[in-house]
Amino acid sequence: MITQWIRIPLERPVGFSIKTLTHREHILVRIQSDQGIEGVGFCLQDISGRAAKAAMDDLLVPMLLGEDPRNINKIWENMYWQTVRAGRRGNLLHALSAIDIALWDHQAKLAGMPLYKLLGAYREEVPCYASGGYYYEGLEVFTKLEQEIQGYMDQGFRAVKIKVGRLDPVQEAKRVKLVRDLIGPDVKLMIDANQAYLDVNECIELCKRVEEYDITFFEEPLPIDMMEAYVRLRKQTSIPLATGEVGATRWEFQELIRQGALDYIQPDATMCGGVSEWLKIAALASAQGVTIAPHYHWDVHVHLGCATREVAILEKFIGTDVKNFDLIINSPMQVTPRGTLVPPEGPGLGIEWNEQAIRKYLVDEKVMAYDSVPKGV
């Protein structure tokens, strides 16, 4: 088993409402079996790659050594319940998520089929939206936004999302109006505040200023911890609400759904507990008629979206200005002329890793040997 911590610098600083990014960090985990099959999992870890890798190396990986990698449910339960005092969310759960994704990648490769086929395909492609509208230091806010959105339209996107929450409500409303005027009435428009608003009344002010621009959903207007505040906000605005990219496990999402706080949930398999937990969350959403719009890593979510009817749309970044994970992948996924993403037909996740690039951005690596991997696996 190999764990790798990589840090990929961004070409220039890029910001959203509460933070400016200069790089992206990920943890990779590679699980090998005695047939030479390797399952690879990953998680985004901008804040503390070192902590997530330590949680993986010191707490979780020792629980896997000698286990049959096909016993995914058994392994998940053991990793989660044996570490609840160390953390049921955050760094440890992100590390657990990466391991679970690696196990499912291995399972599908063992079966010789794409992950979405192994899970029971519902469709062959999923709609996606262009995710952008970030704040770039040193660039004029409105000019940069106009150029970016026009680029998405030229590429044929039928849905876009922009950031809000860094500027005052008047300025943010001007940005939203600019985008709506550019894309016209038939293209979907979403906004994302990255949990910027701590005051429901302030958030209501922004909602009132942008409601006329037909917003498909308002993502993370408030911190996910403020569930009752979401309920209050939902009563005060006609804009559908979404959150969940930092949500943890089925239990947190169950409470969000139970309180009637949301119209869309956004579980991220690299953070919520892996493929195993994502599927449980999707089942909760299905039972309550809640729509799913997964966050970020389309390389795994395209498979989950193709296996799950409740997924309405996937997030897609163009280029590597913000999401530069594509720099360590050969043949990154492209958007179809229909504005959809199609999962690779290779076994597992179908990702071809650029090993030279991984070595270039590698911060730390640890190799752990199995002594008792079950034979025939």
Q: In the block, which residue shows the tokens 């569930």?
A: 227
Our answer to whether residue 163 is catalytic in this structure is yes
Secondary structure, 3-state, 130-161: EECCCEECCCCHHHHHHHHHHHHHHCCCCEEE
HSE at residue 190, side-chain half, CA atoms within 13 A, is 28
HSE at residue 282, side-chain half, CA atoms within 13 A, is 23
| Amino acid at residue number 14 | V
Q: From CA 278, how far away is CA 275, in angstroms rounded?
A: 5
Three-state DSSP class for residue 277 = helix
Q: From CA 153, how far away is CA 151, in angstroms rounded?
A: 5
8 A C-beta contact, residue 119 and residue 283: no
Beta bridge partners of residue 39, listed in sequence order: 31
Q: From CA 37, how far away is CA 373, in angstroms rounded?
A: 12
Catalytic residue among 117, 295, 301, 323: 295
Across 154-180, b (16+ Cβ under 10 Å) vs e yields eeebbbbbbbbbbeebeebbebbebbb
Catalytic residue among 26, 163, 301, 323: 163
DSSP state of 214: -
Q: From CA 222, how far away is CA 261, in angstroms rounded?
A: 11
Our answer to whether residue 295 is catalytic in this structure is yes
Residues with Cβ < 8 Å from 260, sequence gap 6 or more?
231, 234
Q: From CA 294, how far away is CA 281, in angstroms rounded?
A: 11
Three-state DSSP class for residue 58 = helix
8 A C-beta contact, residue 11 and residue 75: no
8 A C-beta contact, residue 241 and residue 217: yes
As annotated, the active-site residues are 163, 295
